[in-house]
Amino acid sequence: MIKESSQFEIKNKNVLLRLDLNVPVFKGRILSDFRILKSVPTIKKLLKNNNKVIIISHFGRPKEGCHDDSLSLEIIINNLENLVGEKITFSKDWINGVNFNGNNIVLCENVRFQLGEKQNLPSLAKQMSTLGDVFVFDAFGVSHRKEASTYGISDYLETFSGDLLKNEIMNANKLLTSDKRPMTTIISGAKISTKLTLIKKLISKSDNIILGGGILNTFLMAMGHEIGNSLVEKSFIEEAQEILNSSDAPKLIIPVDVMVSSNAAFDNPQNRDISVVQSNDKILDIGEKTIDRYIKVISESSIIFWNGPLGYVEKSPFDNGTIKISQAIASSKAYSVVGGGDTIPIIEGLSLQDEFSCLSTGGGSLLKFIEGEDLPILKKLGMHRL
C-alpha cells in the first residue's frame, strides 16, 4: 500500500489529503496561520498535477461523535482560500462522499467529530479511504497518533508521504546528525513530565542545556532552592536530581535570578536572585541577569534546538525571557530549529519567523521523533530517525 515515490507522480486523481490545520484560535480569531501556510505548497503541487483534493484535518479536542460549532474547521476556510488562491468547498457531512461543487478542493469538517477516529476504528478508516483514489499523509504534527485518519486509512489506500512531512523529517534528522558545535538545547515549558525523556536524550549530544518554565522550577527544587508557590512536579524531583548528579550536569546552565509575583493577579513582577525567593513567591520567568547569560551562550552557539516558552508567556511582562531568547536566536548565526506549539506564535508575533533555520509544525510528534520513538505512520512510510 505504501509508495516511496514522490507526489509528482500523482496525476489526475482524487487525492485524500490528511493535513494538520489545527490552528490556535481565540474568541473566533485565528492567532497563527503557520500550519495553514506550511500546508499550502502540498495542496498547490497536487492541483498543478491536475488532481482534485479532499482535505481532512482535526481541529481541537471535541467530544467524538458530536458536532461542536465552536470546533468547526469552517473557521479556516477564508484563510485557506486566500493562501491557495482558489475557491474551496466546505463539506459538513462528508463521510459518505463529497461533492466538489465545481471547485477543485473540498475541505471536510473536523475529522475528530467522527466516532472511532481516536481508536482507529477499521470501519471508519475504510469508509474514509473510499473518498479518494490515493492517500497523501502530510500532517507531521499528529504522526505520533495511531488514529483512523493518521494511520488507519493507509491500510486501505495507496499512501504517499507529503512534502511537508518529508521536510520535517529531513530537518529533524539534520539536527540529530549535525556535527556543528557548540550545540545549545533550550528545553522549557510547563511540565518536566512531558520533556524529561527529551532532556535525557539531548543532554549527551549538547554542549549547553538551558532550562526555563515549570521544568526549571522542578530542577531548582531538586537543588534545594526555595521556589515558593511555583509550578512544579514534585514527583519528578528524584529524576531531576539524577540528572544533576550525572556527568552531564555541568552542561546545565542554572539561572542566577528569576522573575516572581507574590499575588494572585500576577501584577507585581519582581526580579529576585535565586537565593532570596520567598515562600509566597511564584516564579514566572527567568530574571534579567539570567537572560544576559543565556543570550551570551546563544550568541556563541553554532546549532540551537529550542522547545517551549521560558515563562508564563500569557501575561506580560513574564513573556520577557521568551521574547529576549527569540530575538537572540534570530540574530545569531546558528542553525536553529524550533518545535512545539507554544513558541511559534511568539516568534510570529515578533515577526521573526524568517530568521530561524527551521520552525517545525510538530509539537509532541517532533519530541517523540527526537526521543527515538517509532511514530506509527512514519514507520509504515519507511521514514526513520537517523
Q: What residues line the site for Mg ion (CB under 5 A)?
A: 341-342
Sign of CA dihedral 269, 299, 183, 376: positive
Q: Answer left, alpha or beta for residue 369, where phi above 0 means left and psi between -120 and 50 means alpha.
A: alpha
Q: Least distance (Å) from Mg ion to the CB of residue 348? A: 15
Q: At what angle do helices 196-203 and 364-371 cross, to 10 degrees?
A: 40
Q: Under 8 Å CB-to-CB from 160, ≥6 apart: which residues?
A: 3, 5, 6, 7, 10, 134, 135, 136, 137
Question: What residue 312 binds from ligand ADP, Mg ion, none (CB within 5 to 8 A, per partner kind)?
Answer: ligand ADP
CB nearer to Mg ion: give 20 or 342: 342
Q: Least distance (Å) from ligand ADP to the CB of residue 310? A: 7
CB nearer to ligand ADP: give 135 or 356: 356
State CA 168 to chain mean position distance.
11
Question: What residue 140 binds from Mg ion, ligand ADP, none (CB within 5 to 8 A, per partner kind)?
Answer: none
158 within 8 A of 134, measured Cβ to Cβ: yes
Q: Least distance (Å) from ligand ADP to the CB of residue 54? A: 30
Place of cell 473518498: 131
Q: Least distance (Å) from ligand ADP to the CB of residue 285? A: 7
CB nearer to Mg ion: give 188 or 336: 188
**What's the chain's Rg over C-alpha atoms?**
22
Question: What residue 313 binds from Mg ion, ligand ADP, none (CB within 5 to 8 A, per partner kind)?
Answer: ligand ADP
Sign of CA dihedral 278, 279, 284, 285: positive
CB nearer to ligand ADP: give 43 or 198: 198
Q: Least distance (Å) from ligand ADP to the CB of residue 312? A: 4
Can you give the binding site for ligand ADP, defined by CB under 6 A? 189-190, 194, 213-214, 231, 283-284, 307-309, 311-314, 340-343, 363
Question: What residue 314 binds from Mg ion, ligand ADP, none (CB within 5 to 8 A, per partner kind)?
Answer: ligand ADP
CB nearer to ligand ADP: give 152 or 311: 311
The Cα–Cα gap between 150 and 57 comes to 9
Comparing CA positions, the residue from 332, 278, 322 lying closest to residue 300 is 332
Whether residue 317 has a cis bond before it, omega within 30° of 0: yes
Q: Least distance (Å) from ligand ADP to the CB of residue 245? A: 24
CB nearer to ligand ADP: give 255 or 363: 363
Question: What residue 319 binds from Mg ion, ligand ADP, none (CB within 5 to 8 A, per partner kind)?
Answer: none
